[in-house]
Structure 1
Amino acid sequence: MTWSDFADAYSAVVRESVRVLADDRFSTWVVGEVRGSTGRLRGLVPLTIAAHEAAGARFYNDSILLNSLGTAPMRLPNQWRASRKVGRVHQYVLTFVKGDPKRATQAITGGGAE
């Protein structure tokens, strides 16, 4: 699948997920950046944000999820010397809100926002 075809299909999935999400609710997506065949980053994180915004869910929070290092410390020196690519040992946690964030918070907590 080409990146353009993927971006269109991915955006359609995001659009449908926002459509079925109740008003005044949060949606959180965990994504990692991806590389194309030339080794350059594709921009999955900005695509995810743009697709949600276009579908009517506003970018609300972001954070980083650290993955286990596993074998990364052993692999990274050679990878860095060969290509100047850093090892990716994290993912992006992107939260969006459809509607009012205060009411979305109340729906989660069962009462007033704290």
Structure 2
Amino acid sequence: MDMVQRIVTRTPLAELWNSDGLLDARRTGDLGEADIKRLLQGGSNFVVAEVGQPLRWISESDCFAFWKAEVRCRLVAPDEDGFHVEDYPGSYCYVAAMWECASRTPVIVLEKHH
């Protein structure tokens, strides 16, 4: 299977991949705003997981702009018991999780809900 064509079938993700194949990675926990800022300063990047779509990796050079314009106002706090997408701009939001990878800096996975 061409990994570029592989789509997300459910969230939370069970595995993480890129165009080279499956990554040796595991989900380690949910993230809040302060966690994401710290990880971005350390060189982490985003990947958006949306059911029915391929994973969308955000380039390192675009991460801060993507964070400010797209994610920060739509981030579900990790301590929320539940959420309503209607409460967020555009009626969609992100649940963020950190994934530790054997061969790279941690990845911030954004599970998109709409």
Q: Same fold (TM over 0.5)?
A: no
Query: TM (normalized to structure 1)?
Result: 0.23
Q: Which has the higher contact order (CA 8 A, sep 6+)?
A: 1
Query: TM (normalized to structure 2)?
Result: 0.23
- Greater share of strand: 2
- Greater share of helix: 1
Q: Could you say which structure has the larger radius of gyration?
A: 1
